C-alpha cells in the first residue's frame, strides 16, 4: 500500500490543510515519513489502520492506494468493532 497522491491533494484542499506539518499531524506520521510516502514509499498496515480509525473508511479509500489489496482484504486482517479496527 502507498499514499494516493491525487486523493491526498483533494483531501488537503477540502480540509484547508496548508503545509506538511498540518497534514502530518492529521495523518499521525512525522513530516519526514510523509515526504517518503509522497515519493512512493510503502505505508504499513498499522499506519493505515490508525488513519482508518481516526478519519474513517471513506477517507482511507481516498488517501491510500491499496494496490493489489482490497479494502475488505485489509479490514479482514483486524477485528472490527463498530467503526474501529483492532
Dist CA 81 CA 28 (whole Å): 21
pLDDT tens digit sequence for 17-31: 999 899 999 998 999
| Domain housing 26 | 2-85
CA distances from 17 to 26, 35, 60, 82 (A): 9, 15, 17, 28
Q: Rounded to two decimals, what is the model's pTM?
A: 0.90
- The grid cell for 25 is 499531524
pLDDT tens digit sequence for 33-49: 999 999 999 999 999 99
| Helix extents (H) in the chain | 5-15, 20-27, 31-38, 45-55, 57-63, 71-75
Q: Indicate the number of domains in the chain.
A: 1
Amino acid at each position: 500500500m502507498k499514499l494516493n497522491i491525487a486523493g491526498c491533494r483533494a483531501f488537503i484542499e477540502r480540509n484547508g490543510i496548508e503545509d506538511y506539518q498540518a497534514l502530518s499531524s492529521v495523518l499521525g506520521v512525522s513530516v519526514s515519513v510523509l515526504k517518503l510516502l509522497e515519493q512512493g514509499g510503502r505505508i504499513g498496515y498499522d499506519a493505515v489502520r490508525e488513519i482508518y480509525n481516526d478519519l474513517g473508511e471513506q477517507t482511507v479509500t481516498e488517501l491510500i492506494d491499496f494496490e493489489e489489496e482490497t479494502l475488505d482484504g485489509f479490514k479482514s486482517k483486524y477485528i472490527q468493532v463498530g467503526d474501529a479496527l483492532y
